[in-house]
Amino acid sequence: MTRRQLWQRISAHLDMPLLAGMALLMLASLLTLYSASDHNFERVMSQGMNILVALCCMWVVANLPLHYLMRTAVPIYVVGMLLLLGVLTPLGVNSHGATRWLNIGVATIQPSELMKIGVPLMMAWYFEKHEAGLTLKNFVVAALLLLLPVGLIAKQPDLGTALLISASGFYVLFLAGLSWRVMGGLFVAAIASAPVMWKMMHDYQRHRIEMLFDPSQDALGKGYHTIQGMIAVGSGGILGKGYLNGTQTHLDFLPERTTDFIFAVYSEEFGMVGNLILLTMYLFVIARGFVITANASTYFTRLMAGSITLTFATYAFVNMGMVSGILPIVGVPLPLVSYGGTSMLTLLLGFGMLMSIQTHKKLVKS
Amino acid sequence: MNKRIELKNHQQEIFNFRLRLFISIGFVLLLLGILLGRFIYLQAMRHEYYQTLAEKNRISVMPIVPNRGLILDRNGVVLAHNFSGYTLEITPSKVANLTDTINDLAKLVDIQPRDRKRFKKLQAESHDFETLMIRSRLSDEEVARFAAQQYRFPGVEIKARLFRDYPYSDKTAHLLGYIGRINQADEDKLEEQDADANYRGTDYIGKTGLEQYYENELHGTTGIEQVEVDSAGRAVRILSRTPPVSGNTLILSIDAKLQEIAEQAFGDYRGALVAIDPANGEVLAFVSRPGYDPSLFVDGIDADSWKELNDSPDHPLNNRVLRGQYPSGSTIKPFMALAGLFYNVRSPTQTINDPGFFTLPGSSHHYRDWKQGGHGSVDMFKSIVVSCDTYYYGLATELGIDRIFNFLSGFGFGKKTGIDLEGETSGLLPSQEWKQKRFKQKWYAGDTVSVGIGQGYSLVTPLQLAAATATLANGGIGYRPHLVREVKNSSTNQIHKLENAPAFDVKLDPANFDLVKRAMQAVTQPGGTAAQASAGALYTIAGKTGTAQVVGMKQGEKYNASKMDERHRDHAWFISFAPVDKPKIAVVVLVENGGHGGGTAAPIARKVMDYYLLGKVPVPVAPKAAIPAASAVPDVEVD
């Protein structure tokens, strides 16, 4: 095999525009991480490893033909549900007052992470199976497929993840053609049930929402994150303080600055111009995702591609919104940028599916 | 035709999907637009405001750790307090070579291998950017020596800190517990309680004992200092200050002197003692022997000391009062007698004949009385005075396990007393249901027989037995034993008395209580099993001795203490209260491997009562070199 052939074999199922957009964001991740970790090269290398591992997994998924992808939907969903139920058993690991983890002997895993992919996959599979004549009944079943895991995750409690999975599931329903009237009804119902929800929430969850309106009332606790995040972003100004020059970052004011709050570091050092560039990079990746969605050849792939793209956009919005103080603090990393192996892997598995959808469709058509 | 509809549907479907895709794109643009708007607001419009906050005035919010509350005894004697001292601390991330640095430091200040081991353990548990203590309680001279050389040691600093001190050390260790460094588990718990903000800057938290149970009272409220820092992060001036609120003072019902006398009365024996005021459940003395030095734990215990404490055959870390579970032995008999009266199974005057053993109908197995040949004709009064086993074998059999269970539950056996300490065990009051669950076996009549004399499956903690004795002394009205009497608010100085409502109410004819109390009084008079220890008392004492078997004996085997391994000897019990008519104090003593209750346990109770009721301080005797052989005990066989 010549070099050229080898490269063709490797890149056959990679979508270059998408990969380019992702690579830019990952580069931003490594650069910002170096600053955020106080020039800790080990941290950067470790994130590099996370990226490499995730890229390999992405490559494998991208090379899986679509019928394989579809076949995984039910097993992934069932295993995910079993693991979520397992969390309720004594095998569940409680930490920080929430039982989100499962002890499987060799390691502790977070089943809700699997469901970020498992739920939309299952719903898209279900719609594909009943494509011939979709009725309201089908939507109700699909909604149940969504609500069962979401309910279990909300009970852990992990409201942030529950809401994000709800969003990705809702995108599938929306793209599958959920009628406008039903959506309007749901919207009204959601508004009406808000006071009930408020009552059902845990104290700390209510606390975080209250913080949004008046962060100063808990300057040592949760409000501290919000205040310091806003100061970092705001003091960055138009052009930023310059790479490695963020005072908020380097004087230890910012909490969790390599993970959930990495955007504050970026924003402080690169300013509004940097933010615009970052938003453009995200927009580019999202746009490519929509192009793939529009070109997708089957019902299943259209729904899947659309949901993956919209969910990615939602993650980016929620994280930046939370750091800049317009959304409550929920544990959502900045996609492709925050330090962390698990979220990187989950995201890149999604992108692997997008690539598979884009590069296998010709074969399906023929 | 059909084909065309399908095609049309397909096109319609694609159209619908595209439409929704366009709406999605609009939605994403809207979200990004919101973010952009927010960036413009924060970074362009309000830039100067945040610039001021971040650049010109770098405001740092610093926690001010409150002073931990004091713990005093009922007379105001200090049992736990804070003193300020200097510590030598290292920030590993700022030090190039840790080993070299510590070696260099050892030339200036005294650093023992113990300190190094502790530091290593601390380092393994913490992040590198945290400041960790290598030496505590530096002398003034050491502080001066280091200060002169400080420039050589970047990342090493001297800090003034408050230390916790327990003046009574091992004498109050099981009672007060200790504080220790906050670990991951503590952090998780604090976060769960949403208390993590209040613990910013705090290094220590109550780990066991009262320090743990009353953590919320003792910790106080952390203050906030907003300081302006310069570009190097140094504080330039204080902008605002919310002072911390010190933790509240705990005032215990414990009498420190009484506690000390009780401790000393044990000599070299291991065991437990609880003294309770029967009128309100206040615990006057709480002794678990041996104790340990709590200050070892405050600074983080090193592996060697931990191993020594943990592996010691004396189990000094075991809180025997709270967690020790022993057969009650004959001390259960007064309660069994009350049960007999309650269910009309026995009248006070009814007598049985004791040939020296008991047999169940249809069985030849001999349940032996402690006295060979038996006690002859025995009524209830005599059964307590001479501690007749045969009487209670029969009584238990006639009552049956269900009624025994119900009645003894009323005195709190088999349940946690609810004292204000964590980690209490509940003993074991066996029942048919319990045996079925535990052994998947039905309850046999033979099981009931041994329950009658406090052997078999039943187990009690010294605290349970003390609470039950206090309830008996108080005529059936019992209180939850508690250690903290009052909490003094540190800022208002107001004293909040902790109310204690009765927890038990054993409804029984007062005459029945009277009978049992009089019999228990006769126990301490000539002819009774605790006569010697009570001789010459200037007040009346009611008591009951007991022995708890450590190793089982075969049918027909004879107990011979002097031939046994010391740790296999029986445990000695003594339950008591005084004065009999108006009880002011109930004392329960357990002496591990002490042999006979009247010989070893009762004299300890006597010393405690003498001090509490008469103010008499025992004449100190030189501690015995070894645990006395059983030959020192007057009558080996007496139960």
Confidence of residue A220 (pLDDT cuts 50, 70, 90): low
Mean pLDDT, rounded, for A250-261 = 76
Mean pLDDT, rounded, for B315-323 = 92
For residues B249 and B77, what is the distance between their CA atoms, to the nearest angstrom?
A: 12
Tell me the chain B residues in contact with residue A203 when contact means C-beta distances shorter than 8 Å: 194
Catalytic residue among B330, B387, B458, B576: B330
Facing B31 at nearest CB: one of A247, A290, A317: A317
- Residue A255, chain B, CB below 8 Å: the answer is no
For residues B170 and B292, what is the distance between their CA atoms, to the nearest angstrom?
A: 5
For residue A208, the Cα-to-chain-centroid distance in whole angstroms is: 20
Find the range with the poorest average confidence among A125-139, B262-276, B291-305: B291-305
Residue of B nearest to A294 (CA): B18
- Residue B224, chain A, CB below 8 Å: the answer is yes
- Please give the mean pLDDT across all residues of chain B: 86
CA distance B153 to chain A (A): 22
pLDDT of residue A199: 80
Q: Do B231 and A247 touch (CB under 8 A)?
A: yes
User: Does residue A37 have a pLDDT over 90?
Assistant: no
- Residue A120, chain B, CB below 8 Å: the answer is no
Burial label for B514, CB within 10 Å (0-12, 13-18, 19+), is middle
φ, ψ of residue A32 in degrees (nearest 5): -65, -35
pLDDT digits (tens, 9 = 90+) for B25-80: 999 999 999 999 999 999 999 998 888 877 654 666 778 889 999 999 999 999 99
- Residue B31, chain A, CB below 8 Å: the answer is yes
Q: Do A177 and B17 touch (CB under 8 A)?
A: yes
* Residue B534 among the catalytic residues: no
Confidence of residue A214 (pLDDT cuts 50, 70, 90): low
pLDDT of residue B59: 66
Tell me the chain B residues in contact with residue A171 when contact means C-beta distances shorter than 8 Å: 24
Is the dihedral angle over the CA atoms B167, B172, B175, B181 positive or is it negative?
positive
CA distance B51 to chain A (A): 4
Facing B28 at nearest CB: one of A174, A236, A313: A313
Tell me the chain B residues in contact with residue A325 when contact means C-beta distances shorter than 8 Å: 38, 42
- Residue A314, chain B, CB below 8 Å: the answer is yes
- Residue A327, chain B, CB below 8 Å: the answer is no
Residue of B nearest to A303 (CA): B17
CB contacts under 8 A, B 48-107 vs A, are 49-51, 53-55, 58, 60-61, 63
For residues B615 and A249, what is the distance between their CA atoms, to the nearest angstrom?
A: 66
- Please give the mean pLDDT across all residues of chain A: 87
pLDDT of residue A196: 83
- Residue B43, chain A, CB below 8 Å: the answer is yes
DSSP state of B345: S
For residues B112 and A90, what is the distance between their CA atoms, to the nearest angstrom?
A: 44
Better-scored residue on pLDDT, B605 or A103: B605
ipTM of the complex: 0.92
pLDDT of residue B426: 92
Tell me the chain B residues in contact with residue A224 when contact means C-beta distances shorter than 8 Å: 61
pLDDT of residue A126: 94
User: Does residue B361 have a pLDDT over 90?
Assistant: no
Confidence of residue A365 (pLDDT cuts 50, 70, 90): very low
Q: Do B43 and A237 touch (CB under 8 A)?
A: yes
pLDDT of residue A207: 72
Q: Do B42 and A218 touch (CB under 8 A)?
A: no
- Residue B231, chain A, CB below 8 Å: the answer is yes
Better-scored residue on pLDDT, A272 or B621: A272
What string of H, E and C letters represents the secondary structure of B538-606? Answer: CCCCEEEEEEECCCCCCCCCCCCHHHCCHHHCCEEEEEEEECCCCCCEEEEEEECCCCCHHHHHHHHHH
